[in-house]
Amino acid sequence: MRIVAKGLTYTYNPRSPFAVQALKGVDITIEEGEFFGIIGHTGSGKSTFLQHLNALVRLTGGYLKVGEYDLSSKKCDVLGLRAKVGMVFQYPEYQLFAETVEKDVMFGLKNFCRDMGEEEMRSAVREALETVGLDYEEVRDRSPFELSGGQKRRAAIAGVIVTKPEVLILDEPAAGLDPLGKKEIMQLLHGIHGGWCKTVVIVSHDMDEIAENCTRAAVFSEGKVVMEDTPAAIFARSDELLLLGLDIPVTAKCARILKERGIALDTDFTSDDLIRKVLAAYAARKEGRGC
């Protein structure tokens, strides 16, 4: 499913003294198959944009199409859309509620797959929990509140992927986790991406995460998209990102320091690539070839 937004606008509390224009004309195209990143300051409109993608926020201005679903149309089949576009909110573990992990994960299925039998549902829950790296037999009858922080996050993600959505949207999926927990979340997303989950869209504050994982990304600023490109092209514009008050990946910081010292590297800002290029530059210097 291709996602195309043109001139998307959205105002919270319109016609009131508390009106806030969150989106001021968002243009963005996310192709099927991408692992797409969204970055930008707090308040730049990222979450408001995401919530448009499965009609949690109804479109009030502009054009938005997600696959064949035209959200600009009043006749849009919102339930059909939500079955195909899974949404994992920020800190999704706060939405765990059922007595057991199994019941929690099954909840989403009961909403979307009403004609599924009990056994089929159990096997879908098992598959979802195993996909997120939890042992079904071990966690199924436990309270979700007994799990560790990283496990709760993964159980909450299982509750969304249990319906196998074609597009998976995650708002800050790794926020607040320790480095290992973050790595596990990214590994699990890569594990499902390319199978039934064709497209992944993540919001992240972590520029290294974007540089290492995404095929393309968009930078939001004050309710608009100000850059949309590969991470390599976006982080090559680190001066502009810093001017916008955004961070840059550690690799981009290293590349800037090296450039100041006369070593200009053509890198895509993944750590593997940067290390390769630094070693090549070092070898070239040693041989007196310069760089």
Binding site for Mg ion (CB under 5 A): 47
Q: Rule CB under 6 A: is residue 225 a binding residue for ligand ADP?
A: no
* Closer by beta carbon to ligand ADP, 45 or else 231: 45
Q: Does 148 bind ligand ADP (CB under 6 A)?
A: no
* Of residues 47 and 213, the one with the C-beta less far from Mg ion: 47
As measured in angstroms, the least distance from the Cβ of 10 to ligand ADP is 8
- 78 contact choice in ligand ADP, Mg ion, none (CB below 5 to 8 Å, kind-dependent): none
- From the list 43-51, 153-161, 225-233, 239-247, the region that binds ligand ADP by CB under 6 A is 43-51
* Among the residue ranges 37-45, 60-68, 162-170, 175-183, the one whose residues contact ligand ADP (CB under 6 A): 37-45
For the bound state, the minimum distance from the C-beta of residue 226 to ligand ADP, rounded and expressed in Å, comes to 13
Secondary structure, 3-state, the chain = CCEEEEEEEEEECCCCCCCEEEEEEEEEEECCCCEEEEEECCCCCHHHHHHHHCCCCCCCEEEEEECCEECCCCCCCHHHHHHHEEEECCCHHHHCCCCCHHHHHHHHHHHHCCCCCHHHHHHHHHHHHHHCCCCHHHHCCCCHHHCCHHHHHHHHHHHHHCCCCCEEEEECCCCCCCHHHHHHHHHHHHHHECCCECEEEEECCCHHHHHHHCCEEEEEECCEEEEEECHHHHHCCHHHHHHCCCCCCHHHHHHHHHHHCCCCCCCCCCHHHHHHHHHHHHHHHHCCCCC
Residue 283 interacting with ligand ADP (CB under 6 A): no
Q: Which residues bind ligand ADP (CB under 6 A)?
A: 12-13, 20, 22, 40, 42-48
